[in-house]
DNA sequence: TATCAACACGAAAACGTTGTAGTGAATCCA
DNA sequence: TGGATTCACTACAACGTTTTCGTGTTGATA
């Protein structure tokens, strides 16, 4: 690459000092009209732009925020990043994305790389492996130094920092309630293993809804799916129950889509025989047949909120106490639970 | 935030010079065992990490690569980023993602921000608006300075730089050919407007396949969809043709899924009456019913290649001449074109 | 006792920028 | 003519590193 033009080079060109060039380019009236103009012309011609590293080093501020997510090939996380970007840009920040790939080690190393001065703060959604290990030392180190940190979606309560979460309990409740309202009696729950908070919380909501309808939660109707094994085979077990459920509540859209597919193959009519409802994070729900009723998650909003909290923390605007924002879910009713029309 | 510990601070603490501290931490044997150990212990305790801005400024190298994509909420682009990240990390680089949101202005400003020293090179997929305007000045400026730039997917041939593209012509050919092989005679094409290169190229492939089968391309069977208007209404026009096609080739999975949905509503059987095939970039194809046969795109591989080209360019490994890598497509045959078990 | 090497450390430049605090010359006022 | 003021510019520190080139002290050697 060609030498980038710097103040020094321009200064040498016109045989003036570096300060003169700097001031001329900033239109300071300490510098004569004449000198100013020729320097600006030269800088313009050679497309001078101040080196941001130098600026950042001097200002002790990068105007970059780091984001660490478990994976990017996931519609929900993409929407969150989109929201972060939008808000960050509006406030003059850029975004640096790192992926943990659900790995503890990679998360730790990402944190380490990002917090060595390259960013003013970080937003993170914790990796699975970290949640399983329950080792949050890398975060605690940051917080001890007062480094701006915002956790979203996959959070841990014990860490003293700003957080943004989806109202998963509310979502689970809303989901189960909808099924109860359309008359379902035996609602099967397709959820994740317990250590995955999101699944666990949605289950809590489901349980709450069942109880407030005066129904017992039969643990035989709760299926904890292991993502690393064959999904079809695990989900199919729903249909081995003595009394096949009249509704299925899945904590994500993949499980829901698969359950629906199996149900149809087995000759059940949806929603007449079995109603199906999922939590959506992508486009699948819209294109299954029948289209899937789903709890919607507003990742974009979540990203915006996270960015806002972080930048407020960085700039010391906003409250001193740590915030915990809760993003409420929506429900998009489609044909998989809706008879009539 | 608390003051970060620096060499200077440690130096003051032990009343030695900054150089001594720097050398001690690097285990230089210029420094006595004793001094070395106490400095290392202190640094360790206070979690000293060299400031990367300072390192980067000094080394005139950031080990960061910038990526500008039109949007992130798009499975294809996510997979590309994933691939970029993977390769970049392997070679010691970090990734900074910016979104152009298909806007020319934002693309220009992203380029400007990234190339002021914050990254060693950029990978970009050009925004729609830029392609429509045909204004590539911001890229030409970079190339004039020899700044490392890799274009992927949405490229422009006139720019002298490394490129990675999907073999869209081949994909279109492969798609049409598959339909011809299963006996389709009247293949409708659902494509984008002409200025979108990807759609245009896939059409070329479609045309080639038709011609090599000795068939004329009837322009009435080519539908150019405008993404900003109502998709259903535009796609429905397929079924207003005098002779309804016996196959539909869509240049993306959304169009394909919608076409299939409309066909089913109108009582056609898929694939018996009409076979449907799309280009996939997400998970939709897998979960429609019937599942959609699709040309697959290998975004991950594309990302890896792009990163490899870029880093080779940055580090002057690899050939001097600009490369144009072509990623070939695959085809995943599912029930939407496949009769029989 | 003069010479030299080894040892253990410090000074300073460089990366590119900004802003404060000079500085020398011209101009002004009385 | 002497002092103050304005003008147009320069020097320098600072941000945090690394690295090259000193430099003073010690101990050994001839």
- Whether residue A162 is found in the same domain as residue A303: yes
Closest Cα in chain A, distance from residue B141 (Å) = 9
Residue B54 to residue A117, Cβ atoms within 8 A: yes
**pLDDT level of residue A36 (50, 70, 90 thresholds):** very high
Q: Rounded to 5 degrees, what are φ and ψ at A236?
A: -60, -25
To the nearest 10 degrees (0 to 180), the angle between helices B18-25 and B33-45 is 80
A222 touches strand C (CB under 7 A): no
In a domain, A284, yes or no: yes
Closest Cα in chain A, distance from residue B302 (Å) = 14
In a domain, B335, yes or no: no
- Whether residue A81 is found in the same domain as residue A151: yes
Residue A117 to residue B62, Cβ atoms within 8 A: no
**Residue in chain A lying closest to B45 (CA):** A141
Instruction: Determine the Cα–Cα distance for residues A112 and B93; give it in Å rounded to an integer.
Output: 14
- Whether residue A107 is found in the same domain as residue A206: no
Closest Cα in chain A, distance from residue B319 (Å) = 15
Residue B81 to residue A72, Cβ atoms within 8 A: yes
Q: Check whether A197 has a pLDDT greater than 90.
A: no
What is the residue whose two structure tokens read 């080739």? Answer: B249
Helices vs strands, H then E, count in chain B: 14, 12
Q: How many residues does chain B have?
A: 341
B159 touches strand C (CB under 7 A): no
Residue B49 to residue A116, Cβ atoms within 8 A: yes
Q: For strand C, give the nucleotides within 7 A of a protein CB.
A: 7-12, 14-21
Query: What's residue A39's pLDDT?
Result: 98
Instruction: Determine the Cα–Cα distance for residues A100 and A292; give it in Å rounded to an integer.
Output: 31
- Whether residue A307 is found in the same domain as residue A160: yes
Q: Check whether A240 has a pLDDT greater than 70.
A: yes
In a domain, B332, yes or no: no
Q: Which residues in chain B are closer than 8 Å to A116, comparing Cβ atoms? A: 49-52
Structure tokens given for B160? 């002298």
In a domain, A78, yes or no: yes
- Whether residue A267 is found in the same domain as residue A234: yes
* Averaged confidence pLDDT in chain A: 96
Are the CB atoms for B221 and B254 separated by under 8 Å? no
Cis peptide before B271 (omega within 30 of 0): yes
**pLDDT tens digits, B231-285:** 999 999 999 999 999 999 999 999 999 999 999 999 999 999 999 999 998 899 9
**pLDDT tens digits, A202-235:** 999 999 999 999 998 999 999 999 989 999 999 9
Q: Are strands A64-69 and A94-99 parallel, antiparallel or unpaired?
A: parallel
Are the CB atoms for B307 and B122 separated by under 8 Å? no
C13 C1' closest Cα residue? B58
Q: Is B4 exposed, middle or buried (0-12, 13-18, 19+ CB in 10 A)?
A: middle
**pLDDT tens digits, A115-154:** 999 999 999 999 999 999 999 999 999 999 999 999 999 9
Question: Which of A82, A114, A120, A287 to substitute to test the interface with B, most B CBs within 10 Å?
Answer: A287
In a domain, A335, yes or no: no
Are the CB atoms for B225 and B259 separated by under 8 Å? no
Are the CB atoms for A279 and A175 separated by under 8 Å? yes
What is the residue whose two structure tokens read 């960085």? Answer: A314
A2 touches strand C (CB under 7 A): no
CATH number of the domain encompassing residue B190: 3.40.50.2300
Q: Check whether A239 has a pLDDT greater than 60.
A: yes
- Grouped pLDDT means (10 residues each) for chain B, 341 residues: 95 97 97 97 97 97 97 95 97 96 97 96 97 96 96 96 97 97 95 91 97 94 94 96 96 95 95 96 91 96 98 97 98 90 52
Nearest to B273 by CA among B251, B292, B245: B245
Q: Is B314 exposed, middle or buried (0-12, 13-18, 19+ CB in 10 A)?
A: buried
The count of domains in chain B is 3
Question: Which residue segment(s) compose the domain that B217 sits in?
Answer: 168-297
Question: Which of A76, A115, A283, A294 to substitute to test the interface with B, most B CBs within 10 Å?
Answer: A283
Nearest to B258 by CA among B219, B296, B284: B284
**How big is the CA angle at A30 (ends A24 and A33), to the nearest 5 degrees?**
60
Q: Which residues in chain A are closer than 8 Å to B74, comparing Cβ atoms? A: 78
Instruction: Report the residue from A52, A79, A96 with minimal CB separation from B94.
Output: A96
In a domain, B178, yes or no: yes
Q: Which residues in chain A are closer than 8 Å to B147, comparing Cβ atoms? A: 1
- Whether residue A184 is found in the same domain as residue A287: yes
- Whether residue B271 is found in the same domain as residue B307: no
**pLDDT tens digits, A42-91:** 999 999 999 999 999 999 999 999 999 999 999 999 999 999 999 999 99
**pLDDT level of residue A289 (50, 70, 90 thresholds):** confident
Are the CB atoms for A280 and A174 separated by under 8 Å? no
- Whether residue A291 is found in the same domain as residue A308: no
Residue A81 to residue B74, Cβ atoms within 8 A: no
- Whole-Å CA distances, A161 to A97, A100, A320, A322, B53: 20, 20, 11, 5, 26
- Whether residue A161 is found in the same domain as residue A253: no
Distance B7 CA to C20 C1' (A): 26
Contacts of B259 (CB under 8 A, 6+ apart): B190, B235, B238, B248, B250, B276
In a domain, A101, yes or no: yes
Q: Which residues in chain A are closer than 8 Å to B290, comparing Cβ atoms? A: none
pLDDT over 70 percentage in chain A: 99
* Averaged confidence pLDDT in chain B: 96
Helix (H, G, I), strand (E, B) or coil at A274: coil
Residue B261 to residue A289, Cβ atoms within 8 A: yes
- Whole-Å CA distances, B206 to A193, B182, B202, B220, B338: 47, 15, 6, 14, 19
Q: Which residues in chain B are closer than 8 Å to A2, comparing Cβ atoms? A: 145-146
Q: For strand D, give the nucleotides within 7 A of a protein CB.
A: 7-12, 14-20, 22
C15 C1' closest Cα residue? B58
Nearest to A295 by CA among A251, A326, A238, A259: A251
- Whether residue B71 is found in the same domain as residue B156: yes
Distance A265 CA to C5 C1' (A): 88
**pLDDT level of residue A341 (50, 70, 90 thresholds):** low
Instruction: Determine the Cα–Cα distance for residues B250 and B257; give it in Å rounded to an integer.
Output: 9
Contacts of B39 (CB under 8 A, 6+ apart): B10, B14, B16, B20, B21, B24, B25, B31
**pLDDT tens digits, A251-271:** 999 999 999 999 999 999 999
Q: What ranges make up the beta strands (E) of B128-182?
A: 149-152, 162-166
Q: Tell me A237's DSSP state.
A: G
- Whether residue A76 is found in the same domain as residue A128: yes
**pLDDT tens digits, B44-56:** 999 999 999 999 9
- Whether residue B207 is found in the same domain as residue B104: no
Are the CB atoms for A36 and A27 separated by under 8 Å? yes
Structure tokens given for B25? 């931490």
In a domain, A187, yes or no: yes
Closest Cα in chain A, distance from residue B261 (Å) = 8
Q: How many residues does chain A have?
A: 341
Query: What's residue A339's pLDDT?
Result: 76
| Terminal C-alpha separation, chain A | 65
Q: Is the CA virtual torsion B46, B49, B54, B55 positive or negative?
A: positive
Contacts of B7 (CB under 8 A, 6+ apart): B18, B21, B22, B25
């Amino acid at each position: 690459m060609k030498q980038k033009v710097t103040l020094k080079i321009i200064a040498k060109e016109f045989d003036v000092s570096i300060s003169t060039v700097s001031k001329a380019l900033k239109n300071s009236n300490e510098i004569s009209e004449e000198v100013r103009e020729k320097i600006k012309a030269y800088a313009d011609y050679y497309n001078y732009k101040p080196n941001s590293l130098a600026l950042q080093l001097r200002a002790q501020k990068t105007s970059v925020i780091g984001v660490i997510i478990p994976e990017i090939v996931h519609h929900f996380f993409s929407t969150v990043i989109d929201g972060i970007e939008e808000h960050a840009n509006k406030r003059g920040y850029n975004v640096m994305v790192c992926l943990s790939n659900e790995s503890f080690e990679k998360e730790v190393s990402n944190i380490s790389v990002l917090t060595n001065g390259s960013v003013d703060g970080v937003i993170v959604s914790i990796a699975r492996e970290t949640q399983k290990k329950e080792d949050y030392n890398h975060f605690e180190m940051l917080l001890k130094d007062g480094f701006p940190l915002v956790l979203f979606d996959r959070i841990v309560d014990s860490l003293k920092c700003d957080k943004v979460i989806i109202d998963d309990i509310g979502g689970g409740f809303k989901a189960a309630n909808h099924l109860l309202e359309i008359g379902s009696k035996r609602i099967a729950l397709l959820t994740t293993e317990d250590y995955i908070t999101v699944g666990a919380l949605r289950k809590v909501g489901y349980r709450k809804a069942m109880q407030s309808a005066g129904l017992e939660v039969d643990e035989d109707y709760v299926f904890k799916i292991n993502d690393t094994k064959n999904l079809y085979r695990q989900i199919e077990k729903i249909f081995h129950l003595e009394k096949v459920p009249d509704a299925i509540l899945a904590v994500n859209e993949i499980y829901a889509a698969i359950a629906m597919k199996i149900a149809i193959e087995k000759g059940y009519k949806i929603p007449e025989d079995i109603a199906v409802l999922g939590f959506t994070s992508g486009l699948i729900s819209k294109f299954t047949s029948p289209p899937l009723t789903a709890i919607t998650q507003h990742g974009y909003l979540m990203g915006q909120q996270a960015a806002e909290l972080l930048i407020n923390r960085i700039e010391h605007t906003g409250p001193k106490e740590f915030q915990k924002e809760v993003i409420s879910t929506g429900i998009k009713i489609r044909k998989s639970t809706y008879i009539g029309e």
